[in-house]
Amino acid sequence: MNKDLDCGAFLDSLSEYVDGVIDSALCAEIEDHIADCDDCRVVVDTLKKTIYLYHKTSEKTVIPVDVRERLFHRLDLDDFVQEKSLLS
């Protein structure tokens, strides 16, 4: 097996690696590589962080109450608009 995976070859598997869906042999090769290659380690870390930040900051997006009311009105569901508040 090629022990000297170069940075370019590693790029094609980057998504699979950060998503943790890579086969274990290739995963080990990449881990060997980033232990020695600082640029690739930074790429992996900052890529993970990029994905994390987008997910984390979007997670809390909720529908403003007035937007929900107008939605229910448009859908002719005004009589159900109160229901959700009973849950919260």
Partner 1 sequence: MSKENQEEFSLELLRSGDRAEIARLVDAHSANIYRVALKMLANTQDAEDVLQNTFFKAIQALPTFEGRSSLSTWLYRIAVNESLMLIRQRKPEFDLVMKPDDDEENEHLLTEFTDWCCLPESELMSSEAQGYLDEAIQELSEKLRVVFILRDIEKLSIRETSETLEISEAAVKVRLLRARLVLREMLSKYYGEQLDAEKRG
Q: Figure out which of the listed residues 7, 35, 42, 63 binds Zn ion, where binding follows CB under 5 A.
A: 7
Closer of 4 and 39 to partner 1 (Cβ):
39
For residue 80, state whether it binds partner 1 (rule: CB under 8 A): yes
Q: Would you say 4 or 38 has its CB closer to partner 1?
A: 38
Q: Which sign, positive or negative, has the C-alpha torsion 11, 17, 18, 21?
A: positive
Q: DSSP for the chain, please give it.
A: --S---HHHHHTTHHHHHHT-S-HHHHHHHHHHHHH-HHHHHHHHHHHHHHHHHHHHHHT----HHHHHHHHHHTT-GGGTTHHHHH-
Check binding of 58 to partner 1 (CB under 8 A): yes
Residues making contact with Zn ion (CB under 5 A): 7, 37, 40
Which residues contribute to the site for partner 1 (CB under 8 A)?
A: 8, 11-12, 14-15, 38-39, 42-43, 45-47, 49-51, 53-58, 61-63, 67-68, 70-72, 74-75, 77, 79-80, 83-84
